[in-house]
Amino acid sequence: MTTTTIQLDTDIVDNLKGLREQYKVHSYNELLKIIIKKARKPEKSMWGYYGKMSMKEILDGLRDETDRY
């Protein structure tokens, strides 16, 4: 394993210390792995939210005809 030194502002170091305690990890390396994993995790999708409803059933209730003039 190669080690690298990076320069960080004091406020970033303070935030990392707090996160290290919050996640209860022993090293900044472990903490950064967690942060990177969370950053790469895809956001939740609405795919499959309506289950096996047909497109007609889904679109049926979307348009309210009472607001027409």
Q: H/E/C letters for each residue in the chain?
A: CCCCCCCCCHHHHHHHHHHHHHHCCCCHHHHHHHHHHHHHCCCCCCCCCCCCCCHHHHHHCCCCHHHCC
Split at pLDDT 50, 70, 90, the class of 65 is: low
| pLDDT digit string, tens, across residues 11-64 | 999 999 999 999 999 999 999 999 999 898 877 777 777 778 788 877 776 766
Contacts of 33 (CB under 8 A, 6+ apart): none
